[in-house]
């Protein structure tokens, strides 16, 4: 996937046709990722670029401040450096605004497609607790599998809380532990008991199995969606 620099809108040549070509090449890569049902990092990257453009459009002052300032003169009496901003070039500002107005709806179309794929994957997932669920569900294991994969992938998870603007959010950190082939011997319950034996730091872990009927790209789609789905599921238990 062709990447866009964080400040692509004001970097290098500021020309509508050039930026249009740059954006469409980037979106072509996004479209191919979505066609292959690969959501990440494409979707999060696209969201970041989209939010950045919307913020700039809604706050024109930020656009002005994005330009470097040049030293205009030195006020010797007040020992002060006086800078002059190059944003006075109204033609350049107009060009950037045209680029932004072109880019936002094109990004919105691809965001809609990405969110539809996300919802489809999420709706296809089933989550079930394995064994008794402890009171503390902030740490434990997630068993990930789908209908066409032979292996079940075990990830240890930990949910964290953080506050922003007087609101609380949940985040999740995971680490891969192992994989196993489900069988009459390797049942979810038996694997849970083995994990308790091998990792004594979690003597009473919460364990959730997350599965789907369809196979999706594991790292790029299934695991990221599973993590967020698990966070929401656990929030309903508390």
**Is the pLDDT reported for residue 168 higher than 90?**
no
Cα distances from 75 to residues 70, 80, 85, in angstroms, run 15, 5, 17
**Is the pLDDT reported for residue 127 higher than 80?**
yes
Residue bearing the bigger pLDDT, 168 or 29? 29
Per-residue pLDDT at 63 = 59
Could you report the per-residue pLDDT of 12-54, keeping only the tens digit for each? 888 999 999 999 999 999 999 999 999 999 999 999 999 999 9
Could you report the per-residue pLDDT of 169-224, keeping only the tens digit for each? 789 999 999 999 888 888 999 999 999 999 999 999 999 999 998 999 999 999 99
Q: For the chain, give every domain's residue range.
A: 16-122, 126-235
Task: Decide if 191 contacts 197 (C-beta within 8 A).
Answer: no
Whole-number Å distance between alpha carbons of 105 and 109: 6
CA angle (4 as vertex; 2, 8 as ends), nearest 5: 150
Question: What tokens appear for 228 in the block?
Answer: 């967020």
Whole-number Å distance between alpha carbons of 73 and 190: 75
Per-residue pLDDT at 67 = 55
**Is the pLDDT reported for residue 69 higher than 60?**
no
């Amino acid at each position: 996937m062709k990447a866009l620099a964080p400040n692509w809108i004001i970097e290098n040549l500021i020309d509508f046709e050039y930026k249009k070509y740059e954006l469409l090449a980037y979106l072509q890569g996004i479209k191919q990722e979505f066609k292959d049902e690969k959501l990440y990092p494409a979707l999060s990257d696209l969201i970041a670029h989209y939010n950045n453009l919307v913020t700039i459009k809604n706050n024109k002052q930020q656009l002005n401040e994005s330009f470097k300032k040049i030293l205009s003169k030195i006020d010797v009496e007040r020992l002060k450096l006086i800078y002059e901003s190059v944003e006075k070039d109204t033609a350049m500002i107009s060009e950037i605004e045209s680029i932004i107005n072109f880019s936002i709806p094109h990004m919105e179309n691809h965001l809609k497609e990405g969110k539809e794929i996300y919802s489809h994957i999420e709706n296809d997932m089933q989550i079930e607790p394995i064994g008794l669920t402890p009171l503390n569900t902030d740490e434990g294991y997630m068993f990930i599998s789908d209908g066409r994969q032979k292996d079940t992938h075990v990830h240890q998870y930990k949910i964290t809380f953080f506050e922003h603007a007087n609101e609380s959010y949940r985040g999740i950190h995971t680490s891969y532990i192992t994989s196993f082939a489900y069988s009459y011997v390797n049942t979810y319950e038996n694997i849970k008991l083995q994990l308790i034996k091998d990792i004594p730091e979690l003597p009473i872990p919460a364990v959730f199995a997350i599965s789907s009927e369809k196979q999706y790209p594991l790292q790029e789609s299934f695991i990221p969606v599973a993590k967020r789905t698990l966070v929401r599921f656990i929030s309903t238990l508390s």
